[in-house]
Amino acid sequence: MRLSVVLFLIAISAVLAGSVTIKSLVFPTETSTSYVGMTPKKPMTLNAFTLCMRVATELPGERETILFAYRTSYYDELNVWRELDGSLSFALAGGTVKFQVPPFSALQSHMCITWDSSSGASTVFMDGRKSLTKTYKQGHTIQPNGKVIIGQDPDNYLGEFDGKQSFVGEMCDINMWDSVLSDSTINDLFTGKRVPRGNVLDWETAEFEVQGQAQVVDRELYL
């Protein structure tokens, strides 16, 4: 019986070494109409967050490309950009903080951003590797009751999209938490662990509002 406990534990490990299938969003071409809306699980009044996603795009570095947009009636509350100079940036209702990171490519990258209002500490992670820490928007609070848009940058609450800034490629596993996850937890997520689930956005239970040419396909993640 003691051995059976051990074998049970080993069996769990075997399962953990397998793979899971998740939904993935494909944006085949540049448009000003294709996007996917996501509904947060709770009001996005945020004094801290971790936002993660997996991204593959062959768009050249010399193009401003939107990776994530959360907008209320009044403001772009949280936009994530790949900038003209190839850097990764995010903006909280004005201003921006930039990180020089390796370029995105046809290969899928796991990317996370963390921000904490109390210190302003901001970092990005790509494929488990953590960036330098920068200070940005200390004391700020992200406002609730907006809309999360993937694939386009809304210039007002209802739309007005600019195709030149649209996302082209594949994006999945978009999860968001209302706290800063530890480095080791983010590394675990990169390597395929499925917990903790996002308490603001949870990819496994999220419902998508799919518009234009955006498609939802299946993708294997290995653990």
What residues make contact with a second copy under the rule CB under 8 A?
2-3, 5-6, 9-10, 17-19, 56, 58, 99-103, 105-109, 124-127, 129-132, 169-170, 182-184, 187, 220-223
**Nearer Cβ to a second copy (152/187):** 187
**Nearer Cβ to a second copy (111/200):** 111
Q: Minimum distance from CB of 86 to a second copy (Å)?
A: 10
**Neighbouring C-beta atoms of residue 2, cutoff 10 Å:** 6
Q: Minimum distance from CB of 163 to a second copy (Å)?
A: 20
Q: Minimum distance from CB of 126 to a second copy (Å)?
A: 6
CA 112/CA 125 separation, integer angstroms:
5
Give DSSP secondary structure letters for 194-214: --SPPSSB-TTT--EEEETT-
Asked whether the CA dihedral 178, 184, 189, 190 is positive or negative, the reply is positive
Asked whether the CA dihedral 55, 56, 58, 61 is positive or negative, the reply is positive
**Nearer Cβ to a second copy (36/148):** 36
How far is CA 198 from each of CA 23, 79, 175, 201, 206, rounded to the nearest angstrom?
A: 15, 18, 5, 5, 10
Q: Minimum distance from CB of 101 to a second copy (Å)?
A: 5
β-pairing verdict for 121-126 and 65-71:
unpaired
CA 176/CA 121 separation, integer angstroms:
17
**Nearer Cβ to a second copy (141/185):** 185
Residues 6 or more apart in contact with residue 5 via CB below 8 angstroms: none
Q: Minimum distance from CB of 31 to a second copy (Å)?
A: 17
**Nearer Cβ to a second copy (46/180):** 180
**Nearer Cβ to a second copy (109/213):** 109
Q: Minimum distance from CB of 104 to a second copy (Å)?
A: 9
